[in-house]
Structure 1
Amino acid sequence: MTPATQARVPEEVDRGALQLVAEGVTETVGFQLATISVVRTAPDGSQELEVVADAGDDATGEIIIGRRTPLASLLEEIKQAEVWGQFRFLPHEKLTERDVQNAYGWVVPDFEPIDAPDAWHPLDLLVALLHDASGVLRGTLAIDLPDNGRRPGPEQRRLLEKYAVQAARTVVTTLEREELSEQVRLAETARRIVRGASAQQDLSQVLSDCQAGLVEGFRSQGSWIQTFDEDGRGSGAVYASNGDAVELPSTLVDLAERSARRSWAEQVAVVVAGDRPVPEVLTRDEQATIVGFLDTIGISSLLFVPLGAGEECLGNLVLTRTGTSDWTELDQQAALDIGHDLGRVILNARTFQREHELVVELQALDTYKSQLISTISHELKNPLTSVRGYLELLEGSTTLGAEEQRAVQAMGRGTDRLGRVVDDLLLMSKVGDPHHRIIPVAVDLARVVGEVLDLLSVTVSTKQLAVSTDLPDAPVAALGDETEIDRLVANLVSNAVKYTPVGRAVAVKVDRDGDHVVLEVSDQGLGISEADQEHLFEEFFRSTNPAATSLPGTGLGLAIVKRIVERHDGAIDVRSTLGKGSTFTVRLPVAG
Structure 2
Amino acid sequence: MQALEAVTLQLRRVQRRAVDDAAQLGFHRRLTEMMRAGENPETIMTSVVHEVGDHLGVARCLIGLSEESAMGAALHQWTAADVATIPEDIELPQSLTALAMERAGDDRGLWIEDIRNDPRVDPAAAEETVRTLDCVSFGAVPVWAGTELLGWLALHSVEPHRWTAAECGLVSAVSTDLSASLLQHLHAELKARTEQTLRDVDALKRSVVTTLSHELRTPLTNIRGYLEVCAEDTYGEISDAQRSVLDLVSRNCRRLEVLVGNFVSMNTASPTERQSADPLASPTEPDLVPLAIAAEDVARSLAAHAECHGVDVALELESCNPTVSGSALDIERLMGNLLDNAVKFSPAGSMVTMRLTCDQQWARLDVIDRGPGIAPRDQRHVFRPFFRGTRAVQGEFPGSGLGLPVAKTIVEKHNGSIDLESRPGQGTRVTVTLPLARCA
TM-score tier after normalising by the smaller chain length: 0.5 to 0.7
* Match among 370, 383, 388 for residue 536 of structure 1: 383
User: Aligned residue for 2:74?
Assistant: 237
- Within a 5 Å distance, the mapping from 1:258-273 to structure 2 comes to 261-271=101-111
Gaps of 5+ in 1: 1-159, 512-518, 588-592
Distance verdict in 2 for CA 1:363–1:300, change over 3 Å:
same
* Match among 91, 102, 108 for residue 252 of structure 1: 91
**Bigger proportion of residues as helix:** 2
* Match among 363, 367, 381 for residue 203 of structure 2: 367
- Pairing 1:226–2:69 present: no
User: Aligned residue for 1:380?
Assistant: 216
- How many Å separate the matches in 2 of 1:490 and 1:402? 31
- How many Å separate the matches in 1 of 2:364 and 2:67? 55
CA apart distance, 1:314 = 1.4
- How many Å separate the matches in 1 of 2:55 and 2:283? 56
CA apart distance, 1:222 = 6.3
Instruction: Judge conservation of contact 1:226–1:315 (CA < 8 Å) in 2.
Output: yes
CA apart distance, 1:221 = 7.0
Letter of the 1:188 counterpart = R
The SS at the match of 1:420 is: helix
- How many Å separate the matches in 2 of 1:402 and 1:573? 45
Distance verdict in 2 for CA 1:258–1:249, change over 3 Å:
farther
CA apart distance, 1:344 = 4.5
With normalisation by structure 2, the TM-score equals 0.65
The SS at the match of 1:225 is: strand
Letter of the 1:464 counterpart = L
- Pairing 1:207–2:207 present: no
Distance verdict in 2 for CA 1:499–1:258, change over 3 Å:
same
The SS at the match of 1:248 is: coil
- Pairing 1:455–2:306 present: no
Distance verdict in 2 for CA 1:352–1:557, change over 3 Å:
farther
Letter of the 1:546 counterpart = R
- Pairing 1:407–2:245 present: yes
Instruction: Judge conservation of contact 2:35–2:181 (CA < 8 Å) in 1.
Output: yes
- How many Å separate the matches in 2 of 1:578 and 1:332? 71
More contact order relative to length (CA 8 Å, sep ≥ 6): 2
- How many Å separate the matches in 2 of 1:218 and 1:469? 85
CA apart distance, 1:414 = 0.9
Instruction: Judge conservation of contact 1:220–1:321 (CA < 8 Å) in 2.
Output: yes
Instruction: Judge conservation of contact 1:189–1:214 (CA < 8 Å) in 2.
Output: no
The SS at the match of 2:214 is: helix
Instruction: Judge conservation of contact 2:146–2:183 (CA < 8 Å) in 1.
Output: no
CA apart distance, 1:264 = 0.9
Instruction: Judge conservation of contact 2:113–2:160 (CA < 8 Å) in 1.
Output: no
| Percent identity between the two aligned chains | 17
Instruction: Judge conservation of contact 1:186–1:334 (CA < 8 Å) in 2.
Output: no
* Match among 286, 306, 310 for residue 443 of structure 1: 286
Instruction: Judge conservation of contact 1:307–1:339 (CA < 8 Å) in 2.
Output: yes
Instruction: Judge conservation of contact 1:224–1:239 (CA < 8 Å) in 2.
Output: yes
- How many Å separate the matches in 2 of 1:327 and 1:585? 75
Per-residue deviation, residues 204-228 of structure 1 (Å, max 9, x unmatched)? 4553565565457656676432222
Per-residue deviation, residues 549-575 of structure 1 (Å, max 9, x unmatched)? 987654446666788899x9x978766
- How many Å separate the matches in 2 of 1:216 and 1:434? 59
With normalisation by structure 1, the TM-score equals 0.51
Instruction: Judge conservation of contact 1:424–1:557 (CA < 8 Å) in 2.
Output: yes
Per-residue deviation, residues 98-117 of structure 1 (Å, max 9, x unmatched)? xxxxxxxxxxxxxxxxxxxx
- How many Å separate the matches in 2 of 1:424 and 1:334? 63
Instruction: Judge conservation of contact 1:269–1:303 (CA < 8 Å) in 2.
Output: yes
Letter of the 1:264 counterpart = A
Instruction: Judge conservation of contact 1:272–1:287 (CA < 8 Å) in 2.
Output: no
Instruction: Judge conservation of contact 2:268–2:274 (CA < 8 Å) in 1.
Output: yes
- How many Å separate the matches in 2 of 1:359 and 1:208? 28
User: Aligned residue for 1:32?
Assistant: none
Distance verdict in 2 for CA 1:372–1:169, change over 3 Å:
same
- How many Å separate the matches in 2 of 1:273 and 1:332? 12
Letter of the 2:391 counterpart = P
Q: Which has the larger radius of gyration?
A: 1
Distance verdict in 2 for CA 1:573–1:453, change over 3 Å:
closer
Distance verdict in 2 for CA 1:565–1:237, change over 3 Å:
farther
Distance verdict in 2 for CA 1:571–1:235, change over 3 Å:
farther
Aligned length: 396
- Between stretches 373-382 and 574-583, larger displacement belongs to 574-583
Gaps of 5+ in 2: 80-84, 277-281, 304-311, 343-350, 436-440
Letter of the 2:170 counterpart = A
Letter of the 1:370 counterpart = R
* Match among 180, 186, 191 for residue 350 of structure 1: 186
- How many Å separate the matches in 2 of 1:274 and 1:316? 19
